[in-house]
Amino acid sequence: MARPVVGIIGNQHLINDQYLTHAGGSMNSEAISDVSDCLPLVIPADPRLVSVEELLDTCDGFLLTGGRPNVHPEEYGEEWTEAHGAMDRARDAITLPLVRACVERGQPFFGVCRGFQEVNVAMGGTLHPEIRDLPGRMNHRMPPDGTLEEKFELRHVVTVTEGGVFHHLFGTTQVMTNTLHGQGIKTPGARVVIDGHAPDGTPEAIYIKDAPGFTLSVQWHPEWDAANDPVSRPLFTAFGDAVRAWASRREPALRRTG
C-alpha cells in the first residue's frame, strides 16, 4: 500500500555560488521516511512553480523545514533591518497561506525552526530579529565551528506545560534539545499556544488552539538523529500518525472523483 505523501518545504540553494537549486536536507527526508513512515517529497517553495491549492491536493501533510533565510518582517508589519538577515520572499508566499489553509482544513503540518516562526507569522504573530541581543537571553545560534555532530549537539533544556500535548508525547516536562536559530517569537499569533520554553524564556514549542489537525511546531531541529533521539522520535511518529489519518479520510472522496 502506498505511503501517504509529506511535502517537505525546500529552500533555494546555490551550488558553487552559481547554480540555483531547490534543496532539502537529507535528514528531513530520512526523518519523514524512516520515523514518520511517509513518502518524502521536496517542494520548490516558489509561487511561480507551485500553488498552495496544488500542494494541498497533492500532499497529505507538510514539514515546514528550517532554513537560513528568515521570514520577511513586512509579513508582520515591520521594516527590514540588517539584523533581520537574508530573506526568501518566494518561500513566504507559499508557506504562510499554506499554514493558514492547513489550520482551517485540519491538514497536518509540523513546523521546525524557520517553520516554527512561519507558523507564528502566518497566524498574525511577530518575531525578534536577533534573540541573543535581548537582555537575559542566551545565544541560540548554531556554533560557528566544529563538526556537524557538535553543531547539532543538545545544548539546553526545554520545559513544556504539565499535562499539555508535548508533555503527553514526551512523557516528561523537561527535555534536552539542540538550538540553531537567531530569531524567535516576540508576540504569539492568534490561537498560537506557547507550550514550551528555553531556560531564558525563549518560546520553543507551540500548537494552534482548537485546530482540527496536527499543528505542533518546535524551534529546535528534531530531524537530527530523529530515529534515535528520545525527543525527536515521538514528534515524527505522532506526525506520521496524523498524516496517515488525514490520508485515510480523504481517500474515499478521491476514489469517487477519479
Q: How does pLDDT run across 141-175, given as a tens digit for each residue?
A: 888 878 888 888 999 999 999 999 999 999 999 99
Q: Residue 229 and residue 232: Cα distance in Å, rounded? A: 5
**DSSP letter, residue 2:** P
Domain segments of the chain: what residues? 5-257
Among this protein's residues, is 130 annotated catalytic? no
Q: What are phi and psi of 50, to 5 degrees?
A: -140, 155
**DSSP letter, residue 258:** -
Instruction: Decide: 154 and 146 in contact? Cβ < 8 Å.
Output: no
Among this protein's residues, is 168 annotated catalytic? no
pLDDT tens for each residue of 181-215: 989 999 999 999 999 999 999 999 999 999 999 99
Q: What are phi and psi of 207, to 5 degrees?
A: -150, 170
Q: Between these two residues, 16 and 176, which has the higher pLDDT value?
A: 176
In the predicted model, is pLDDT for residue 253 greater than 90?
Answer: no
Q: Which cell numbers hold the place of 30?
A: 530520512
Q: Residue 52 and residue 221: Cα distance in Å, rounded? A: 25
What's residue 144's pLDDT?
80
Instruction: Decide: 240 and 36 in contact? Cβ < 8 Å.
Output: yes
Q: Residue 137 and residue 156: Cα distance in Å, rounded? A: 12
Residues in the chain, overall count:
258
Which fold is adopted by the domain 5-257? Rossmann fold (3.40.50)
Q: Give the active site residue among 72, 84, 140, 221.
A: 221
Q: Give the active site residue among 102, 113, 118, 140.
A: 113
Among this protein's residues, is 84 annotated catalytic? no
Q: Give the active site residue among 118, 130, 204, 223.
A: 223
